Chain A
Amino acid sequence: MPPLLELRGLTVRYRGESGDTTAARDISLVLQPGEALGLVGESGSGKSSVAGAVLDCLGPSTRIDGQIMFEGQDLLALPRPRRRAVLGRRIGAVFQDPFTALNPALRIGAQIAEPMMHHLRMRPADAHRRAEALLVEMGIARAADIARAFPHQLSGGMKQRALIAAALACEPPLLILDEPTTALDVTVEAQILRLLAELRQRKSISVLFVSHNLGVVRRLCDSVAVMYASQLVEIGPAERVLDRPAHPYSLGLLASRPPLEAAPRGSRLPAIQGQMPIAPQPELACVFAPRCPFCEPRCETTSQSMVEMPSGAHAARCWKTGTLGPWPRQAISAQAGPAFRPGDALVNVTGLRREFATRSGMSAWQVSFTGGLPRLRHQVGRVAAVDSVSLTISPGEVLGLVGESGCGKSTLGRIILQLIRQGSGSVEFDGHDLAMLAGSDRHDFRRQAQIVFQNVGSSLNPRLSVGDALGRPLTLFGLADRRTRAAQVDALLEMVRLPASYRLRFPHELSGGERQRVAIARALASKPRFLVCDEPVSALDVSVQATIINLLADLRDEFGLAYLFISHDLAVVAQLSDRVAVMYRGRICETGPTAEVLAAPRHPYTRTLLASAVDDLPAAGVADTPPAASEFLAVNIRGG
């Protein structure tokens, strides 16, 4: 059978202010009819550029060379109008962000019907009827209602289902998915993946699946292509690439994923050191050599091409394929860290409840017409973001707080730090009720309790140099005078493993991982005893994520810090936490030692969360959602 899609020497260049940058270099791969191919890599590896080149959505300042053979014709050689016709009709696409991909002014049904009317010349009534049928196929219960709904009435998962329906409307043989589940919660992600696997079997469509998440790729794809620094570094059947990778980068990526099990104190994740080169020069040397623990002299002087493995159908761009050992682990730190001693609580939260107004200001004024004269009423809607939450954290203890977006976990963290007013209940720190603290006591609490944020883009002031950002808490809390400040800033940088020269840099000159290191150093500058880590690794790539988790573990052991570690990712939480608390809709539904919660979850929601996080589920539709889960999945449908 001829391949459905074949890329031959595809090269994508972006013309920029300072010369061209090559996003994808000489990419060749083949997608057979009915096959699902995962294209994997970190952000900046060029994977989305490859998908974008096929979908012709990279904009005018790009140069695309090579051939994109689809159903026997080269898409790049086609004139624009004919290429457009192929795109909507023969190739469907779903992108990362379901929240912005739908037109907010049009009903869902109309948006699914549109491509059928346009490409298949269907009559509007027929197209709308088929749109509803498609929604049913997507596993949407009240399809007729949903078709009439507007995008803002649907949850993220529902929107993504609608977008998949729109992509499949013209029954294309190829579906291109660019990170379709990245913006969704784990439980919803699991459902969408199950749906995609099902659709693949039923309709025998081919899928090009772009993702940074190896677990997700494993669940859906037959074969996997790994990209690094604009090059294809490994390609082969999924079970070979993911279980016996031939390229050190694939090996490192797999090794640095946190396993879903409690990690003892003193253990560290294997991590890929360094970072991806911004302007790789693969003609000179292996692009991965600077980060590769298996690197030999020839790797730094001679470039290599894809080497076919003896097993066939599996190739990697490495001189040493087949001779790699396991990825080296960072040596376990000598002082495994004092295990915390449960005793007097450092943080003690009791019966906390915090409501937010859902309707306030002008919109809270409503005219009521019931009985007699119309009356103006001030009616404020309220929702409890945090509800009867009690927890304790001992000195030196790490409490993991897991839950999906909107469950109130970030609000809870901010209330403990008194960044949000606390409502009813009490928060005690070191035996003092925080609501009563004033003046110098409050100042001292600020020094002892600090926070690290998720968003590496906005956690540092863009106009402050790293040195100034780190120096400020030192000055504020009187920990350094003019003369010792520079030396202490250097010490802080060293603590988060950054060179002292970074003192002079500004945030835009740093990578995401480096910014997060600076943010951690800033939080630690005041020598706190307690740190709230609010999704500190969620915005980072897998390999960077591992290094930051290791850093947080090192700091925990070195300084005996207590963390409230907030994350949606159970595996990440398990790496650092002594105990885990699971939060669902404002309440803590389960807490216990990490190993116990993972091994024997009691609450049905915890079970759902665990089931969604396990990544080597058999592919299509074999493993069903645990029965208790349906109750929680109903959250998906909001409003109409």
Chain B
Amino acid sequence: MAWPIRASATAARLTEPAVLTLPTAAIRRWRRLPPALLIGAAMVLVLLIVAALAQQIAPYPFDQMHIRDRFSPPSLRYLAGTDEYGRDVFSRVLIGSQLSLLLGVSATVISMGIGVPLGLLAGFRRGLLDEVVMRGLDLMMAFPPIMLVLLILAITPPSIMKTAVIIGVLSVPPIARVTRSVTLDLMSGEFMEAAHARGERTWYMLLRELLPNVWPVLMVEASLRVVFAVLLGAVLSFLGFGVQPPSADWGLMISDGREFVDDAPWISIAPGIAMGLTVIGISLLGDGLREVLDPRLRGRR
């Protein structure tokens, strides 16, 4: 028969314009990204660069004291002024970004490392395992997090890694719950039944069939967790249970500056602004990611 051949020729003709418009389509797609994502990504990128190069950018070492320049207001010499020991606040804020990010990221990695496997398994296996895991998580969530952290840090010597581990463990329930609910949704998909029909092993189904589909949602949740960890870490330092002096930590700096807030407000304001920008940047990135990745929100743009 002659016509199927012609049909394929026509198909080729149809695809031609699509190839020609590809670059403009790519640009249009880039333009269509939500502004929140672009702004958030830019802010987080700057934050990462600053944290990575803090030692190189900082005009002074964070613990160098300028005894004659104590309480200098912001100037060209000391961009954000100096504190009661004459230490450059700007340099300390830059160095402090390392601690905040370290805390935020390591706590999130820990919570994902525990929460994602738990959620995947609970959603995949269901039954008794599911019940035990979920009720255990409910129990954890029943305690106010700040109380739990304070309790542990008050009776044992504080350290930044310990803080990270505790905040990480506290973030396990939301991560595990999100993972489980997405997994449950995926389990009804027929591609999972096809995997069962092939007799696939559990680990293959978890890692290759389920995890890639859970990932987008987890990225969004992770950004929220980083924000939570940064803020909680700052609160702990502020209360004196987190990072110990003379480290340059934002929460600690705000706490130290309290005494002088009338005469030298810059000591507290500078780390406060840094923390605000960090939280806003990561939150925007998370919101933007959700808008791009969540199919339920896709139509509204």
Contact = CB atoms under 8 A, between A and B. Distances in A.
Interface in A266-323: 273-274, 277, 289-293, 295, 300
A460 B191 contact: yes
Interface in A412-443: 414, 417, 419, 442-443
Contacts of A442: 199
Contact of A446 (B6, B25, B199): B199
Q: Is the interface of B mostly helix, strand, loop or mixed?
A: helix
Give the interface size bracket for A toward B.
35 or more
A419 B7 contact: no
Given A295-B3, A328-B1, A446-B199, 8 more contacts: A274-B7, A292-B3, A419-B196, A449-B197, A451-B194, A459-B189, A461-B189, A461-B213
Contacts of A461: 189, 191, 209, 212-213
B13 to A, nearest CB: 9
Contact of A453 (B3, B11, B190): B190
Contact of A476 (B191, B193, B198): B198
Contacts of A328: 1
10 contacts: A289-B10, A291-B7, A442-B199, A453-B193, A459-B189, A459-B194, A461-B209, A476-B200, A477-B198, A522-B194
Could you say which of A18, A289, A458 has the most chain B C-beta atoms within 10 Å of its C-beta? Answer: A458
Contacts of A291: 7
Contact of B198 (A277, A295, A446, A463): A446
Contacts of A273: 3-4, 7
Interface string B191-219: 10110111110000000110011000000
B257 to A, nearest CB: 48
A450 interface: yes
A406 interface: no
B198 A473 contact: yes
A139 interface: no
B135 interface: no
B3 A293 contact: yes
A231 interface: no
B299 to A, nearest CB: 9
B68 interface: no
A550 interface: no
Contacts of A522: 194
B296 interface: no
Interface in A449-480: 449-451, 453-455, 458-464, 472-473, 476-477
Interface of B: 1, 3-4, 6-7, 10-11, 14, 25, 28, 32, 188-191, 193-194, 196-200, 208-209, 212-213, 301
Contacts of B14: 277, 290
Contact of B197 (A292, A417, A462): A417
Given A458-B190, A460-B191, A451 B197 contact: yes
A411 interface: no
Contacts of A446: 197-199
Nearest to A469: B191
A461 B6 CA distance: 33
Contacts of A277: 14
A288 to B, nearest CB: 11
A516 to B, nearest CB: 11
A17 interface: yes
B10 A526 contact: no
Could you say which of A292, A463, A523 has the most chain B C-beta atoms within 10 Å of its C-beta? Answer: A463
A291 B3 CA distance: 8
A571 B60 CA distance: 84
Contacts of B25: 18
A17 B7 contact: no
A443 B197 CA distance: 10
Given A458-B189, A462-B213, A290 B197 contact: no
A450 B199 CA distance: 10
A328 B4 CA distance: 12
A451 B193 contact: yes
A570 B49 CA distance: 66
Nearest to B211: A463
A624 B115 CA distance: 61
B15 to A, nearest CB: 11
Contacts of A295: 3, 6
B213 A463 contact: yes
A443 B1 CA distance: 43
B286 to A, nearest CB: 21
A458 B185 CA distance: 11
A419 B193 contact: yes
Nearest to A532: B197
B208 to A, nearest CB: 8
Contacts of B301: 17
A451 B199 CA distance: 12
A273 B4 CA distance: 8
Nearest to B200: A476
Could you say which of A461, A472, A476 has the most chain B C-beta atoms within 10 Å of its C-beta? Answer: A461
A442 B191 CA distance: 20
Contacts of A450: 197-198
A14 B14 CA distance: 21
A477 B200 CA distance: 10
Given A289-B10, A450-B197, A455 B4 contact: no
Contacts of B193: 414, 419, 451, 453
Given A18-B25, A291-B7, A459 B190 contact: yes
B32 A453 contact: no
A417 B193 CA distance: 11
A290 B10 contact: yes
Contacts of B10: 289-290, 300
Could you say which of B189, B196, B197 has the most chain A C-beta atoms within 10 Å of its C-beta? Answer: B197
A290 B196 contact: no
A509 to B, nearest CB: 12
A395 B189 CA distance: 30
Interface in A498-547: 519, 522-523, 526
A290 B11 CA distance: 8
A453 B199 contact: no
Nearest to B214: A463
A70 to B, nearest CB: 30
A312 to B, nearest CB: 32
Nearest to A477: B198
Q: Which 6 A-B pairs have the closest CB atoms?
A: A446-B199, A463-B212, A290-B10, A458-B189, A453-B190, A459-B190
A419 B11 contact: no
B28 A443 contact: no
A449 B209 CA distance: 21
A462 B213 CA distance: 8
B287 to A, nearest CB: 19
Given A290-B7, A453-B190, A526 B196 contact: no
A61 to B, nearest CB: 9
Contacts of A462: 213
A462 B214 CA distance: 11
Contact of B199 (A414, A443, A459, A463): A443
